[in-house]
Structure 1
Amino acid sequence: MKKPAPSRRRFLAQSAAIASAALIPTHLRSSIAATPESANDRPGLGLVGAGRMGHNHMRFAKGMCDVVAVCDVDTNHREKAQQNLSDGKAKAYNDYRHILEMDSVDVVYIATPDHWHAKILIEAMLAGKDVYCEKPLTLTVDEGKVIRKVQKKTGRVVQVGTMQRSYLDLFVKAVAIAGEGRLGRITRATASIGGSSGSGPIPEHAVPQWLDWNQWLGPAPKSPFRWIQDPNLKDEWQIGKTNGHQQFRWWYDYSGGKMTDWGAHHVDIACWALRAAGQSDTLVSIGGEAKLPVPYKNGYPTLRDQYNTASSFSLKAMMSDGTELLITSEGRNGVLLEGTKGRIFVSRGDLTGAPVEQLKDLPLPEDAISKTYRGMPTPFNQHPNHWANFFHCTRERMEPISDVTSHLRAIDICHLANLSARFDRPIRWDAQNEQIIGDEAANALLSREYRNEFAIEM
């Protein structure tokens, strides 16, 4: 398929938006409403990946856009999303490239398994689309280099689905506390992200007629479909133990396990807090202990028929200024920030600690949350605000709260943590050149080979 050119409608709309924004004083831009003023302002959205995540998260965005196309390699997912999200009106495809060709698609929402993210994101930006992409953006460090380059070239707006950056009353408030110096100098941040378990051998299985397995694999290595059906599952999105669908997270060919699943959220918050406090989030080294469910040799699993991502771990990342960032499968899920003046714990359920209690007598400045949220509108909270932030930034041509650069700094720490686990040795990192120091075998896994038919179309 040929690479789509931006439509005349999109070009004129974006030119007008840029021209209008130039007439608005910078300090007033954040007061602009975060939802469209009329139906004509509603962007057309193309959903790529209509499984549980993509389908369910659209409920937060549906009121701010029109779903004009859906894509999924699973016929059941595709048909259900088409009906539920557009009353059957949206175009439905098996191949996402059709969506990139559509003039009526202004923004693309990527909710595929992780191994597809970078390719679709890069091609969507080159096709003139703004993109909301679920985390992590990458499967390897080198994919991030290409993403940064293409975004700079195209000027597209990209929001990462690390929606904790829009939890105003919890994570944003925690970062604001750190930014206001209430913790003093942060000496240690701990991201507790939980562990996982192995699966045991999963046999090969005939590919169901409703699944295009070759297209599901895409850039990943050719592999047989594996499946152990579980008749007790009541969730229609689950299909038991498999190397596809919801269980893709536990295979390094498709994801990074808990490290890039919950790590993408909590390591990001820890790094954001360090930056807000005027400290470094530049990695120097990472190492520690990790348990993997199968034996490894030279960084690769020796068994290919079962889950292989790290199941438990305690890995310490050292920043360039000496601050410690601990990534662990132990403890309560959340982020602990320990400083010279106090400590706070933040999760999706609460924000606690003496510095939080002290807010009753010494509240944060009125603009603390706004300043932490870069002065952008905050009409909602949590998931709805994250989507509203994205659409606001596509109109104003601004960098959203979960920007590419900050996300890649955090997720690269997670990728390097996984390499430390896979090789069972510490990793020393040259952040300036984005290379592992003195370890050729680990350095080789900073990138991956794509299958020829699924190479990125630049």
Structure 2
Amino acid sequence: MSQYKHLNRRHFLKATSTAIAAGVFTATHSQSRGEDSPNERPVFATIGLRNQGWTITDKSTKFADFAAFADVDDNVLGAINEKLGKKTGKKADAYSDYRKVLERDDIDAVMIATPDHWHTKISVEAMLAGKDVYCEKPLTLTIAEGKLIEKVVKQTGRVFQVGTMQRTENDQRFLKAIALIRAGRIGEIRKVTCGINGATGSPFIPAVEVPQGLSWDVWLGPAPKVPYRALPEIRQGYGGGVPLYTNCHYAWRNWYEYSGGQMNDWGAHHVDIATWALGASDTGPSKITPVSYSLPVEYKDGYPTVEDRYNSPTKFEIHAQMPGDIPLVITSEGDNGILFEGTEGRFFVNRGRLSGKPVEQLESNPLPEGAVEDVYGGPVSENHTANFIAAMKSRKQPISDVWTHNRMLETCHLANISIRLGRELNWDPEKREIIGDEQANSFLSRESRKGYEIDM
């Protein structure tokens, strides 16, 4: 087994980027099959297929073959396999139990796009089974889960890519934003604001019969056992074809039992770029202050008092004190994106635009040659999967590694804890614990439901 070597964002392996630049997208170490086959396309499996599961599969078929799918909903499992067959001419083997995927020696890597509360269990067990892992963001439900994943990555030497694809994709806008900052185009940073959208509450959602084809108890997995809830109105657009109000399907993002709300959803994207730009990927915040927030249900001791409607924040403004006493503001107000403000200017970036005077000045004063590549650590990959596969070949960690992701996500996790308890939190980034607050520290981990503990 290849020896593990930790690379943070400043030490991302140049050889990986060289392989990408040379077009080596189809190589894999093939450790799980006991061979080194540099000319062979890697074999992937996707676990969790609804929404983002198909998205990451779809954009990966150029670089990898998909041998297996797993999902607890037979309906989505069949529908996505039909899509794969139409696109590639070959369907994958379909399983309702992800463990069947991990037992297969022919699969090099798994892509995980389940609800957040399943990420850690499947990721850990996949690595222990000899698979490299691409897991959607946010990687974890708790800070303790992040520490466990780090431990297992180090223990097994597996390659692990987190799906924070803004580091690679979106026309390199976010990489250009960081390059602008590193080139001093706004002077010294004074403030960063991440707009990540608010959410809506819900009406009372009744317990109803579980839809045919959905294994509800398995969907819940490590989370507490509760009834399936849904109202008949159907969601349109992204995540369409499922109940608008439910504790499953797309709407699980509005429940703390399975997610971190918008704070961990969009926050995992924008706070990631902001933390990277601030050079704080090794440290994170020292203080979290809930300036304002709105919860859709009443809370007591940090827990919702009812279980029949959405419970994650609908509005919020959180201030995180970053190194150098730079405030990082996370807000549900304003445009979705990141506003960087410095002593000599300001600019805004999101997936659709990079704007502001420093950006306009690039026409007459372009960035130094190679500035974007310096941020990335070499030539920028065609997409996030291409970066993952190049890392599989080099056996080095990819651009969205678990360490920088977890440090960033700690800010989001702490923000949620501060909202749930309604108070400021002081964070020790070295010990990775909340200072002088025993109750708050109890939220750094969660107990898994019996029968769904992580199989170590």
- Do they fold alike, i.e. is TM over 0.5? yes
Deviations 1:161-216 (A, max 9, x none): 11111134310100111122222211111000010011021000111221000110
Give the corresponding residue for 1:65: 64
Deviations 1:371-422 (A, max 9, x none): 11111x4353xxxx11111111111112211111111111110000001111
Q: Which residue of 2 aligns with 1:78?
A: 77
- Give TM-score, length-normalised by structure 1: 0.90
* Structure 1 residues 250 and 358: alpha-carbon distance in aligned structure 2, compared to 1, 3 A threshold: same
Cα separation, 2, equivalents of 1:89 and 1:448: 37
> Helix, strand or coil for the counterpart of 1:159?
strand
Task: Output the amino acid matched with 1:228.
Answer: L
Deviation of 1:222 after TM superposition, in Å, equals: 0.7
Q: Indicate which of 421, 434, 437 corresponds to 2:435.
A: 437
Quick one: which of 192, 195, 198 aligns to 1:195? 198
Give the corresponding residue for 2:147: 145
Aligned counterpart, 1:100: 102
Query: Counterpart in 1 of 2:329?
Result: 326
Instruction: Tell me the secondary structure at the aligned position of residue 405 of structure 2.
Output: helix
Which residue is 1:356 aligned to? 359
TM-superposition CA deviations, 1:235-280 (whole Å, max 9, x none) = 65422210001000000000010000000000001001111xx898
Matched with 2:394 is 396
- Tell me, yes or no, if the aligned pair for 1:193 and 1:334 is still in contact at 8 Å: yes
The whole-number CA distance in structure 2 between the counterparts of 1:261 and 1:245 is 15
Aligned length in residues: 431
**1:248 aligns to what?**
252
Answer whether contact 1:279 1:321 (CA < 8 A) is retained.
no
Match of 1:262?
A: 266
Identity score, percent:
49
Deviation at residue 232 of structure 1 after TM alignment: 7.3
Change (3 A) 1:178 1:34: farther
Unaligned segments of structure 2, at least 5 residues: 4-13, 28-36
Counterpart of 2:184? 181
Q: Deviations over 1:78-121 (max 9, x none)?
A: 11122222456311111111111111110100000010001111
How far is the alpha carbon of 1:58 from its aligned partner?
A: 1.5
Change (3 A) 1:389 1:232: closer
Between the aligned partners of 2:93 and 2:130, the Cα distance in structure 1 is: 19
What's the counterpart of residue 305 of structure 1?
Answer: 308
Contact 1:172/1:369 (CA < 8 Å) preserved in 2? yes
Distance in 1 of aligned mates of 2:372 and 2:363: 16
Distance 1:379 1:254, change over 3 A: closer
Paired with 1:28 and 1:349, the residues of 2 have a C-alpha distance of 28
Cα displacement (A) at 1:32: 3.1
Higher relative contact order (CA 8 A, sep 6+): 2
Aligned to 1:3: none
Assess, with a 3 A threshold, how the Cα gap between structure 1 residues 437 and 34 changes in structure 2: closer, same or farther.
same
User: What is the DSSP-based 3-state SS (H/G/I as helix, E as strand, rest coil) of the residue aligned with 2:105?
Assistant: coil
Aligned to 2:219: 216
Q: SS of 2:403's equivalent?
A: helix
Aligned CA RMSD, in angstroms, stands at 2.1
Question: Quick one: distance in 1 between partners of 2:325 and 2:358?
Answer: 23
1:415 matched to which residue of 2? Answer: 413
Closer/same/farther in 2, CA of residues 332 and 233 from structure 1, 3 Å limit: closer
Residues 26 and 332 of structure 1: is their aligned pair in 2 closer, same or farther, counting only changes over 3 Å?
A: closer
* Partner-residue secondary structure (3-state), 1:411: helix
Distance 2:235 2:224 in 1: 31
Structure 1: runs of 5 or more not aligned: 1-10, 16-23
- Once the two structures are TM-superposed, the CA of residue 33 in structure 1 deviates from its matched residue by 1.6
Please tell me whether the aligned partners of residues 289 and 424 of structure 1 are also in contact (alpha carbons under 8 angstroms).
no
Report the TM-score when normalising by structure 2. 0.90
How far, CA to CA, are the matches of 2:313 and 2:154 in structure 1? Answer: 34
Give the distance between the partners of 1:159 and 1:232, measured in 2 at CA. 31
Shift of the alpha carbon at 1:59? Answer: 1.5
Cα 1:434–1:246 change in 2 (3 A) is: same
Cα drift, residue 282 of structure 1: 2.5
Q: Which of 20, 23, 30 is residue 33 of structure 1 equivalent to?
A: 23
Question: Aligned partners of 1:66, 1:203: CA distance in 2, in Å?
Answer: 42
In structure 2, the CA distance between the partners of 1:192 and 1:281, relative to structure 1 (3 Å rule), is farther
Q: After superposition, what is the alpha-carbon deviation per residue over 1:4-29, rounded to whole angstroms, capped at 9, x for unaligned?
A: xxxxxxx7xx79xxxxxxxx979955
160-169 vs 338-347, which moves further = 160-169
Mean Cα deviation higher: 162-171 or 311-320: 162-171
- Equivalent residue for 1:226? 229
CA displacement 1:350-375 (0-9 Å, x = unmatched): 00112111211221111111111111
Indicate conservation of the 8 Å contact 1:274/1:281, yes or no.
no
Encode CA deviations 1:301-358: one digit per residue, 9 max, x unaligned. Answer: 0111100001000110001320100000000000001111211100111001121112
Match of 1:114 among 110, 113, 116: 116
Q: Is the 8 A contact 1:280 1:320 kept in 2?
A: no
**Amino acid of the residue matched to residue 96 of structure 1?**
Y
- The one-character-per-residue Cα deviations of 1:39-61 (angstroms, maximum 9, x if unpaired) are 95211111100112101332110
SS in 2 for 1:405: helix
Alpha-carbon separation, structure 2, partners of 1:429 and 1:232: 39
* Matching residue of 1:157: 159
Q: In structure 2, what is the equivalent of residue 427 of structure 1?
A: 425
Q: Distance in 1 between matches of 2:99 and 2:443?
A: 28
- Kept in 1, the 8 Å contact 2:321–2:327? The answer is yes
